[in-house]
């Protein structure tokens, strides 16, 4: 891939997107693992995954900042190296925390992948740059996204040929936003950063549908909207009416 991308590609919304892969913990397939990726590929679904930074700067496919929920280890992800993280069992299974390189190699371009770059809204772009390094040169349907408009703006500068999206919601009640000022939160919920972040697509919380922001993005901005995380039939109906594709979990569309 080369050059500057003007709009989101059609493959981005062509298939339902399995949230953190097609995981099923009861069946021994934890989220964000190679097994979850393979299950999604087998089902013909696109895949959404998350990346966190290891102590030695690697992009690791893992959602939480802390290891405890899935590994029982009482440390943050960035306290351990990629090699150390790769030895940790996920949810008591034989699955381990993969690097983004390993994860994408497993998928091998068979289905689209949407990679969410996690952020603490602290201006640190090391994970962003490493993620771009990993996907650079891969001729595969891979998009990048983040809740952090600063990260999306960085992607516009250093990876202009890769589809990029902003993840957003109508309010910022989650503790993750605690350090942000009221004006910064308003910027997030109203997408008042679009002139800087320049996303190709919007990923909007399904519980906030319908709403003016996704409506205007779709109808006036011609920006596709995917919605997260769809788990119920009622949410699926909202996604059908007000979004272009869904990020789903807990069922098979």
CA dihedral 52, 199, 150, 229 (to 10 degrees): -40
Alpha-carbon distance 54 to 128, whole Å?
13
Backbone angles phi, psi at 47, to 5 degrees: -130, 135
| Beta carbons within 8 Å of 39's beta carbon, 6+ residues apart | 18, 21, 22, 23, 24, 29
Q: What is the residue-level pLDDT of the chain in tens, covering all 253 positions?
A: 457 899 999 999 999 999 999 999 999 999 999 999 999 999 999 999 999 999 999 999 999 999 999 999 999 999 999 999 999 999 999 999 999 999 999 999 999 999 999 999 999 999 999 999 999 989 999 999 999 999 999 999 999 999 999 999 999 988 889 889 999 999 999 999 999 999 999 999 999 999 999 999 999 989 999 999 999 999 999 999 999 999 999 999 9
Per-residue pLDDT at 4: 87
| Inter-residue contact 97 to 61 (CB < 8 Å) | yes
What is the torsional sign of CA 212, 218, 223, 224? Answer: positive
User: Residue 138, CB half-sphere, CA atoms under 13 Å: how many?
Assistant: 23
Per-residue pLDDT at 60: 98
**Measuring CA to CA, which residue among 88, 123, 95 is closest to residue 28?**
95
Q: Going from the N-terminus, what domains does the chain have, and what CATH number goes with each?
A: 10-50+110-248 (3.20.20.190)
| Inter-residue contact 44 to 21 (CB < 8 Å) | no
| Inter-residue contact 177 to 120 (CB < 8 Å) | no
Per-residue pLDDT at 2: 56
Which tokens in the block code for residue 86? 């790769």
**Measuring CA to CA, which residue among 64, 86, 48 is closest to residue 165?**
48
């Amino acid at each position: 891939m080369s050059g500057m991308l003007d709009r989101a590609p059609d493959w981005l919304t062509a298939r339902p997107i399995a949230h953190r892969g097609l995981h099923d913990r009861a069946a021994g397939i934890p989220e964000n693992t190679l097994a979850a990726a393979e299950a999604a590929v087998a089902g013909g679904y696109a895949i959404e995954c998350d990346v966190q930074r290891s102590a030695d700067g690697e992009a690791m496919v893992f959602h939480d900042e802390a290891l405890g929920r899935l590994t029982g280890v009482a440390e943050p992800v960035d306290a351990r190296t990629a090699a150390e993280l790769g030895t940790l069992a996920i949810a008591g299974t034989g699955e381990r925390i993969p690097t983004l390189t390993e994860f994408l190699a497993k998928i091998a371009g068979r289905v689209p992948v949407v990679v969410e770059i996690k952020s603490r809204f602290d201006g640190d772009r090391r994970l962003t740059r490493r993620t771009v390094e990993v996907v650079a040169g891969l001729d595969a349907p891979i998009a990048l996204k983040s809740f952090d408009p600063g990260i999306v703006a960085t992607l516009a500068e250093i990876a202009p040929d890769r589809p990029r999206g902003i993840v957003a919601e109508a309010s910022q009640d989650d503790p993750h936003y605690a350090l942000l000022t009221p004006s910064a939160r308003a910027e997030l919920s109203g997408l008042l950063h679009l002139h800087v972040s320049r996303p190709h697509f919007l990923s909007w919380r399904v519980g906030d549908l319908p709403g003016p922001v996704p409506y205007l993005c779709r109808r006036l901005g011609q920006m596709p909207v995917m919605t997260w995380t769809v788990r119920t039939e009622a949410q699926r109906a909202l996604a059908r009416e007000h979004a272009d594709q869904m990020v789903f979990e807990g069922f098979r569309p």
